[in-house]
Amino acid sequence: MLLFWLVLLPILSSIVAYLNKRRLTGYLLGLTQLLVFFMALITAIDVYTNGTIIYSFGGNAVNIGVNLVADKVNIIFIVLSCAFFPIMLLFNYHKSYMNKLFLFLFLILQGLINGIFLSNDLFNLYALIEVSTITVSILIMYKKTSHSIYDGILYLLINLVSMAFFLLGVGYIYKIFGTLDLTLIKQQLTNVTSTPSLILPYTLIITPIVLKSALLPLPRAHGTPSAPSIVSSVLSGIYVTSSLYLFIKIQDTFSPAIDTASLFLSLGFIISILGFVLALSQNDIRLILTYSTISQVGLIVFGLSLASDYSYYGSIYHLLSHAVFKSTLFLTAGMIIEEYDTRDIRKIRGLFKRMPFVTIIICFALLGISGAPLFNGSISKYLIKKGSDSTQFLEYGLIIINIATITYLMKYTSMFFGSSKKSKTPPLNQKIALISLASLCLLGGIGGQIFINWLFKLNIQIEALQYLEKTIIYILSLGIGYLFYEFIYKKSNFFMTIRQLELSFNELILTITLFFTGLLSYLLLVQ
């Protein structure tokens, strides 16, 4: 029954908050968020003690009703989501635009994201994704500037078009299996005599999920200039996480009949490098972070596609870590933009002197995303590398991806240096929120081995010699990244040319169509 309330309670609280006065709203939201978080923890303990929990609406049989399912993977994301949203609300508590309407939309999004994680029914997922897309689009456009309205509408239209693919695929699946429950579909795959009949519905369903996972670098909505910082943080943090979890779920469901691991292994590497190029070409600090999300998503998909439990769970852990450090970076980017009144990284200097607290928090997040020893990214990248040990080529690929990450972070840290006056310290609510996120970056590294052994029952022992080797590789990667940034990036016009490229709506739709037809053609050839 708790699964139902994890979805419904945030939505109900949003309605009640909209109808009450602001002071009452603050108390109500605080109590509700605490309650939802504790319910998520209780559910997680139950799952890890007694196994998978299934809740069927109306008490129907599992093969008839619409089900919510909590297992040992998605419950971790639920706990993360239920911790993430109160931190965002705390960070933004003093903002003038945090009115009833904004809170209403933001809390509805929380319930919808929880629903996406828990739902096991394809049509239910379609409905949740569609409503969440509309909600996110309104939040992007919330400040009603011309740029945010353009980006919000573009994001909405692109996703609505792509979800038409999803709905058509759902119809095909129901025709073949007579059910939309993912567990039952996986069980019945052994009875399908014609595997090619699954190729079209699979391609129709996976295409919009790939788009929403940021594996296709299309809309720039994450970095919209006037979108509230917590909206960008939610988009690149927990919302992308929910879409990547769907990618994992769909791949797991269809893997007995359709094998696309080698394809997505290659695509993950290519997208990771493409994300690096796009991130390094930007001067807008939010767009640097936006395209770095694409690069990190490429790494995650790369790890998920390796035939190893180490890389698989390492990718899931990196997905959790990414939600933390990328949210931190987007929140601090919003503070920097407010302080300097510009988004141009070339005009932001002396950050360490002007905003020392914010700079330290950024350092924690950057150490996490770059895989520095003792930080959360180091554990996940260690596991992904361990899963690629059987093939030297893949090991080199991971090192290249990490050097690419370090290179665009070199550009990001250029803000730290120079002279500037000192600004006022951030309000207490923002300090608490940022310290909480930065602490998770560190705790996720120091306690990473314990967490992974407990969460995934994956008995990893990180030996001192192995960690020393990783540290040496990290230091060498820092050096190579610095040299690339100083002597190649700064002297090349290539990145300036890339920065000027921006796809129109028609070109974006064409990109989605080309991906769909390319994937379909590939599967028809190899199956």
Q: Please determine, for residue 1, whether its predicted confidence score (pLDDT) is greater than 70.
A: no
What is the chain's percent helix, strand, coil content, to nearest 5? 75, 0, 20
Average pLDDT over residues 216-239: 77
Report the pLDDT value the prediction gives residue 14, as an integer from 0 to 100. 87
Separation of alpha carbons 139 and 14, rounded Å: 15
Q: In this predicted model, which residue has the larger pLDDT, 425 or 432?
A: 432
DSSP string, 243-297: HHHHHHHHHHHHTTT---HHHHHHHHHHHHHHHHHHHHT--BHHHHHHHHHHHHH
Measured in degrees and rounded to the nearest 5, phi and psi for residue 457 equal 55, 35
- The residue among 388, 389, 376 whose CA lies nearest residue 452 is 376
Nearest of 172, 323, 185 to residue 252 by alpha carbon: 185
CB neighbours of residue 160 within 10 Å: 14
- Say whether pLDDT at 174 is over 70: yes
Rounded CA separation 334/269 (Å):
30
Contact 515, 216 (CB under 8 A): yes
Residue-level pLDDT at 145: 80
Question: Taking residues 22-49, what's their average pLDDT?
Answer: 87
Residue 58: pLDDT band by 50, 70, 90 thresholds? low
Residue labelled with tokens 């139950």: 46
Highest average pLDDT, of 50-64, 383-397, 407-421, 451-465, comes from 407-421
For residues 17 and 435, the model is more confident at: 435
Q: Is beta strand 67-70 parallel, antiparallel or unpaired with respect to 53-56?
A: antiparallel
pLDDT by residue (tens digit) across 246-290? Answer: 999 999 999 888 989 999 999 999 999 988 998 899 999 998 998
- When pLDDT is cut at 50, 70 and 90, the band that residue 199 belongs to is very high
> What CA–CA distances, in Å, run from 465 to 366, 449, 461, 469, 472?
25, 16, 11, 6, 11
H or E stretch covering 68: strand 67-70
Give the three-state DSSP class for 336: helix
pLDDT-derived band of residue 38, with 50, 70 and 90 as boundaries? very high
Predicted local confidence at residue 251, as pLDDT: 94
